[in-house]
Amino acid sequence: MYIKNFSQLTPNEIKEDSLTLRKVGLNALEVALNSVQAGKLIKRAVKILNDMLIIRNEEFDLSTFREVLVIGGGKASAQMALAIEELLKEYSKINYKGLINIPNSLNIDTSSASSKIRTNSASHPIPDKNGVNGTKLMFSYIDNTTKDDLIIFLLSGGGSALLPMPKQDITLADLQETNSLLLGSGASIHEINTIRKHLSDFKGGNLAKKIYESSRATVITLIISDVVGNNMEFIASGPTVPDTTTFKDSYHILKKYDLLSKVPVPVKQLIETGMNDLSLSNPLNQSAFFKNVHNYLIGSVESSVNEITKYLEDLNFEVDYFSNEIVGEAAIFGKDLYNFIVYKLQNFVKKSNKRKFALLGTGELTVTIKGKGIGGRNQEMLLTFLNEIKDKNIDYNFLIIGANLDGIEGNSEAMGALVDNALLSQSVENKIEFNTYLTNNDSNSFFKMLNCDIITGATGINVNDLLLILIDIND
């Protein structure tokens, strides 16, 4: 199982109705995680048959290539690389090598790997020197490719931090400070990655440009999405995708979140210069750069939703996937969640003869950090929800799980948390002051204290966050 504290989350001393929902919800979370394992996604999408590399029914004749270079980065890239290497080892007719930047928090079993595709551990979500060094080494590999080579680029969420290549006079320290400011500002991932693209010689289509200028090798990018809407331009900041954003967009985002005077001076100067110097723009209209680039989205959170839906329907739940675009401030979403559930529940009861209902949502909330506590976006959302309902009379059994499926949320060690009738009663009976934790962005301390934080460690999975709401109406 992924969930390491399953038994702690399902103690026998809580009421049977709550215990049952917890087990169903946590098992659904396990189903979700298993459905989007990166290795499984690769094996579903990629095949080698009679010298042909087949991806989404498109074919590439491996016999026409001199060598395969495998590069990439992201939270899921390690398992992606292992699965690709299994295919290449079994084919055995072509030489291959490579390098993948992976999170240093990830423990992986490399027993099936060879030394041909190396892994380089780097920091996430703040880039570090290891990440820079690994990315530079990938560029040196690219410099030695030819037009007769095939480059397989493996990309998942987290790649923005794990594949740093600062532009011009931007230092690693500048990148680190800018990333920290953006992550605490409440900016969306689309906004954050817009700025990241304009500080990088790797992101925003610049990897495609580098390959074109070095060798014009054929590029196959295999992508697992963690971005709402699955726009490949924003997944890990789109290294092989044309960039439709601009330096002017970056400037306005910094201004929107009052960061213009806070980011390092070289960052502000580059963005201001880029607004007037088109030669600094990321690739967009240079179609030649992307002529030999083939981008494939091979996985997203929708796979999890499909499998959870099947699992819950088998348990006689009425299931509603109500949104694949959960965005915005976590605290605001949590405050509004109770009224949303009431509205949905009324509609369920009117239209269905079932007594068990499930709401599924996916996306990525944000947190504007004002305190110095430990927490994450889902935990903050759930704690705000608890604060909102503490005086409500709820006459049905409920369970809500909010989880970041990569296993690590915010600056906590949890992937998220669960709330239900049992936790609500325990909190009210012990007169816990929710606002003390909310004011300090300290949601994890609350859930950890009450044994309701969900612990998996880094999963090697990276898709959108999952919100699961289960309701069992008492007869």
Decide: helix, strand or coil at residue 55. strand
Evaluated on CA atoms 342, 343, 346, 351, the torsion sign reads: negative
Shared domain for 328 and 456, answered yes or no, is yes
Tokens of 420: 């239900």
Tokens of 16: 């049977």
Q: Which of 77-91, 152-166, 342-356, 381-395 shows the lowest mean pLDDT across its residues?
A: 342-356
Compute the distance between CA of residue 451 and CA of residue 425 in angstroms, rounded to an integer: 14
The reply to whether 354 falls in a domain is: yes
Shared domain for 318 and 213, answered yes or no, is no
Task: State the average pLDDT for the chain.
Answer: 94
Q: Residue 193: its pLDDT value, please?
A: 96
Neighbouring C-beta atoms of residue 363, cutoff 10 Å: 20
* pLDDT tens figures, 357-380: 999 999 999 999 999 999 999 999
Shared domain for 365 and 465, answered yes or no, is yes
Q: Residue 315: its pLDDT value, please?
A: 96
393 or 258: which leads in pLDDT: 258
* pLDDT tens figures, 173-192: 999 999 999 999 999 999 99
**Residues of the domain holding 211:** 38-165+200-245+282-299
Check whether the bond before 125 is cis (ω within 30° of 0): yes
* pLDDT tens figures, 301-323: 999 999 999 999 999 999 999 99
Q: Residue 112: its pLDDT value, please?
A: 52
Compute the distance between CA of residue 143 and CA of residue 71 in angstroms, rounded to an integer: 13
Shared domain for 239 and 339, answered yes or no, is no
Compute the distance between CA of residue 207 and CA of residue 202 in angstroms, rounded to an integer: 5
399 burial type by CB count under 10 A (0-12 exposed, 13-18 middle, 19+ buried): buried
Asked whether the predicted pLDDT for residue 49 surpasses 90, the reply is yes
The reply to whether 182 falls in a domain is: no
| pTM attached to this predicted model | 0.90
Decide: helix, strand or coil at residue 175. helix
Q: Residue 338: its pLDDT value, please?
A: 96
Shared domain for 318 and 223, answered yes or no, is no
Tokens of 230: 């699955």
Compute the distance between CA of residue 221 and CA of residue 231 in angstroms, rounded to an integer: 14
Compute the distance between CA of residue 267 and CA of residue 277 in angstroms, rounded to an integer: 15
Report the number of distinct structural domains present in the chain: 2
The reply to whether 308 falls in a domain is: yes
Q: Looking at residue 223, which CATH number applies to its domain? A: 3.40.50.10180
When pLDDT is cut at 50, 70 and 90, the band that residue 58 belongs to is: very high
When pLDDT is cut at 50, 70 and 90, the band that residue 111 belongs to is: low
Q: What percent of the chain has pLDDT over 90?
A: 92
Shared domain for 315 and 429, answered yes or no, is yes
When pLDDT is cut at 50, 70 and 90, the band that residue 138 belongs to is: very high
Q: Which of 66-70, 245-249, 368-372 shows the lowest mean pLDDT across its residues?
A: 368-372
Decide: helix, strand or coil at residue 196. helix
